Structure 1
Amino acid sequence: MFLMASRILFRFKLIQFNYEKIDFHIHTIPTISDKHFDFCIENFKKYVNDCQLDAVAITNHDLFNTEQYLQIKETLGITVFPGIEINLEYGHILLIAKETEVDDFQEKCNKVREKIIKNTDSITFEELHKIFVDLNNYLIIPHYDKKPPIYGSTLEKLEPFISSGEVDSAKKFIRNIKDSSKLTPVLFSDTRIRKDMGSFAPRQTYLDCGEISLESIKLCLKDKTKVFLSKEDGNSLWQIFQNGQKISTGLNILIGPRSSGKTHTLEEITKSIKRTKYIRQFSLVQGKDDDDSFKTEIESKRGVVVDDYLSGIKKMLDDVSKINLITNIKSIDGYIESLKKSAVEFQNQDLFSKCKLFSEELFSISSKSNIATLIEAIKTIIEHSEYSNLISKHISTDSLNNLIIELIEVSRVEKLDIKKEILC
C-alpha cells in the first residue's frame, strides 16, 4: 500500500515538473505602434535564462523579420515560434506560426505590413482570412481582457479558430479561468527586449502540454485544467518578483515592524505590475506647499482677452476638427460593449472587489469662493501691455497691485481653513 502511494506521488511530481513555461508576446523591433527602443540579444538571453522559459514567440506589431528571428532562435537555444501582433478591426491579436513555415509566414506578414502604414490603421477579418488563408494552421490569441480588446462581431468571427485569450493581470486570469463561458486565459509579458531593461515582468504562463509544438499547445489551451500561473502552486499563487517571490491570487496583507521593507516591497510591486492603483503612505493627508500651489494656479495661460476675441471662430474650428465618424462609431460600439461587460462584472464581483477601500470615491472639499478666478483676471489686466494706457486711464496700477495682493492673502487664509477641515 505504501509502495503504491509512493509511486503515485513520484509520478505526480514528474508531471508537475513537465510543465512548460511560455511567453508568446515579445517585441524585438520598434514599429509605428511602439516607442523607440534598441534591441539587445544578450538581454533576451538573460530574460529566458532568469525566467526559465521553455518557449517564446516573437510578436512584433504588424511585421515579421526572418533574419532577426533566425538569429534569436540560434542564440536562445529554446523553442522560438515566428509570430506577429496584428491590428485587427481596432483590436489586437497574436498570430503564431510553425517553426517550419518561416518563409511562407514572412510573405504573408509582408502583405499585412503593406496595409498598415499608420498606427491607427487596421485590417478586417476578411483581409486577415484572405492573407493567411487557413487560419486553423496558426495559433491565434486575441486581446481578450486586455486593451485594445477584440470583441463583438470580430470575436464571433474568430471563435472557430481560437480557444484562448490574453489578459493583463493575475486577477483577470483567475476570474476567466473560473468562468466556464470564458476563453482559456493566458498571461504574457508584452515586453520590449531593449538594452536598458532593469528587470523582467513576472507575466508568463505554464502549460501541461507534454511537448512543445504548435499542435500540442493549441490542444492544451482548449483545456483550462492544463493552464496555470505557477509551476508548483497552480493558480493559488503567482510569481511577483524575479527572485521567485510569490503572492496569493486572493487578498494579501503585508505586515512588519518599521524599516522592515514594507514600503520597498510595495514600490517593487508597482514597478512589476502595469496600471497598479497604489495609495502611498501619507498621500491622503499631505498637501502641496502653499507657494507651489499658488505658482501652479497662476501658470502661464492664454490671455483671457485674446480668448474672448477669438472665441467665435475658435469654437467653430474646434467643433469641426473633432468630428470623426469612424471614431464616433467605434466609441459607441465600445460604450455598448463596456456597458454589457460592466453588468456582467457587477454580478461576478468577488468579496475583495466589493470592499469600500477599493471602490469608494475620493473625499473632496469644494473651494469657498471663486477668488482664484478673480486673481487670474486681475493678473491678466495688469500684464496686458496692448491696452495698458486705456486700463490705467480708468484704474491706477497701484490700485490693481494692492487689490491682487489682498486677494492673494484672502486666498491663502481660505486654503488654510480647508486644510484644517481635512485634518479635523
Structure 2
Amino acid sequence: MAKPISRRMVLRGVGAAMSLPWLESFAKAQENLTEPPLRTAFVFMPNGVRPDHWTPPGDSENFELTPHLQPLAGLKSDILLIENLWHKNTVGRNGHWPKVPAWLSGGFVERTVGSDLDAGGTTIDQLAARHIGSTTPLPSFELGIDAPRTGIDTAGGGFPRALGSFLSWADPHTPVPKEIVPQVAFDRLFRNRVSAAVASDETSVLDAVLDQAKSLRRRGSTSDQARLDEYFESVRSLERRIEASQRPQKRWINKGKLPVDRPPAGIPATHAEHLRMMLDILVLAFWTDSTRIASMMMGDAQSAQDYGFLPGVKGNWHSISHHREIEENKLQYQKIINWNMEQFAYFLNRLKNLDEGGKSLLDNSMILFGGSLKDGNSHQEEDLPILLAGSGKGWLKTGRRIRAAKKTPLCNLHLAMLHRMGIDQPSFGDSTGPLQGLA
C-alpha cells in the first residue's frame, strides 16, 4: 500500500518551503475545515477624485453609477458606497503626506525632521495582524508601486515624505515596508519561510528553555525584563508562524492550479503591467491563504506617475490633480481616476471568479478601497471616497450606499471591520463606536 501523504509535507528546495496545493490525499485531513476564512484588504488610491464624478445625486440607498464608479458596473451588487467619513486629525495639515498614515489609523501625524517619524498610531491592518496573523505564514502582506521617498517636503508644510510612502505602520514610529517588485512579492508567498531543521522538531524553543528563561528574567533589571519579554514574544511569534506554514490542515487549501505564474525579474516596463501584476499577486496571496490581511498602495501620497499612455492625457497624476478648475485639466484628471477604478474592478473580478466552497473569494473578503482626501485640487478632508467590496462572509449588505452623518470618523468603519474579524476592540483611533448600517 502506498504511504499516505503527510498533512505536514511541504515541497522543499534551496531556501524554499512551499505548502502543497489541494490533493485528494488531503481530503480526510480537511474534514475539520468546513469553510474558507475571512480575508481583509486595504487598497489605497492617492490624489483624490472629482467629487462631482464620484458622489451620486440623491440620498436613497440605491445609487446611480457616476463616471468614476462606472467601471464597477458589473460589480454594483458586490459593493457598499459609504459617504461622509473623515479624519478630523488631518484637518489643516499638509495636503498629502500626513494624511496617508492617518487613513488606516486615525492618528495625529507629527511634523518631525524625518529621523523621528511619528505617524500618530498603529494602522488597522497591523493591529489585526497581531491578533490573527499567526494563523498564516505571512501575518500581513504589504504591496505597492512607488519606491519610498526621502527628505522633507519644505514646500508642503515641512513633513517627511516617508510619511506618504507607507500605508501600514506597526506603531507610530515604525512603517511596514511594502514590496514593489512583482517577482520578490510572489516569492514571499512560497520561499524562505522556514528551515527544515526547525520544522522537523515540534518542541517550542521557549518551552525547552522555559526554566532558564524565567531564572534569567528574575535576575534582570526592570529594563532588562522588558527587553527579555519583547525578545521571548518575538521568538514565540516566529514559532507560531513556522507552525502555521507547516500545518496546512489549519489553513484553507483551494483546488486547482495557481491563478498566477511567477513574474519575471525586475520592475515591469509599463505602469499598467506593474499594477496588474501586483494586484494579481494580492489575489494569489488570499487564494492560497498565505495571508488574510493585506494592504496595497496604487501610488504614494503625491504619485507623480506619468499617464501619457492614456489618450488625451499629458502629464503626471499629482500635477493634473491640481486642475485649477480648468476643464481640459479636469477631463485629464477624470481619465486617470477612471483608469485606476478599472484596475480596481479587475482585481475584484479576479476575486469574484475564484470559487471557494460554493462562494467566491470576493464573498469571503472585505476590501476597503479609497483615499485620504476627497478633492485632489483642494485637498478636501471631508466625505472621503470610500468603497467596501465583498460581503465579509455574508456580513455586509452590499449593492447600496450608506450615508453616515456628516463628519463621521472613518475609524468607526475600521472598528466595525475589526469586530467582524473577531477582534473585540472597544475603540480604534478616534472612533466613537462601530459604524452602523453595514449588515
TM-score bracket for the superposition, by shorter chain length: under 0.3
Query: TM-score, structure 2 length as denominator?
Result: 0.22
When Rg is computed on C-alpha atoms for both structures, the one with the higher figure is 1
Query: TM-score, structure 1 length as denominator?
Result: 0.23
With CA pairs under 8 Å and 6+ residues apart, which has the higher RCO, 1 or 2? 2
- Looking at secondary structure, tell me which structure has more helix per residue: 1
